[in-house]
Amino acid sequence: SDLCGPDQIINAILQNSQVCLEIDNAKLAAEDFKNKLETELRLRQSVELDIDGLHQLKQTYLDLQGNLVGEIAALEEDIAALKKDHEEQLRMLRQQKTSDIDVQVDT
C-alpha cells in the first residue's frame, strides 16, 4: 500500500483537473449571470423610463381632451345661439314680408 504510487498520483492529478474545470465552469457561469443581471437592470431602467414617459403623455392627452370637450361644449352653445338668431331673423323677415303684402293690399 504505497501512498504515493503512480496510480494514486495519476488519480489525484485527474481529480485536481476535474475540480479546476468545475471551478472554471462555475466562474464562467457566475460571469454570465452577472452580465445577464446587468443587461436586465438596464432593460428595466429603460422600460421604467418609457412607462414614465407614457404616463406623462397620457396626462397631456387627458388634459388636451378636457380642453377639447370644453371647446366642443362652447361651440355647441354657439351653434345653438346662431340657430336661434337665424330663426329669429327668419321670423322677422317673414313678418316684414307679410307686412309688405298687407301694405300693398291696403293701397
Domains in the chain: boundaries: 1-107
Cβ atoms within 10 Å, residue 76: 10
Rounded to the nearest 5 degrees, what angle is found at the Cα of 38, between the Cα atoms of 33 and 40?
90
Per-residue model confidence as pLDDT tens digits over 17-35: 999 999 999 999 999 999 9
CA distances from 45 to 31, 52, 53, 83, 103 (A): 21, 10, 12, 56, 85
Per-residue model confidence as pLDDT tens digits over 58-107: 999 999 999 999 999 999 999 999 999 999 999 999 998 888 765 555 55
Question: What predicted TM-score, i.e. pTM, was given to this entire model?
Answer: 0.56
**Where do we find the cell 498520483?**
9
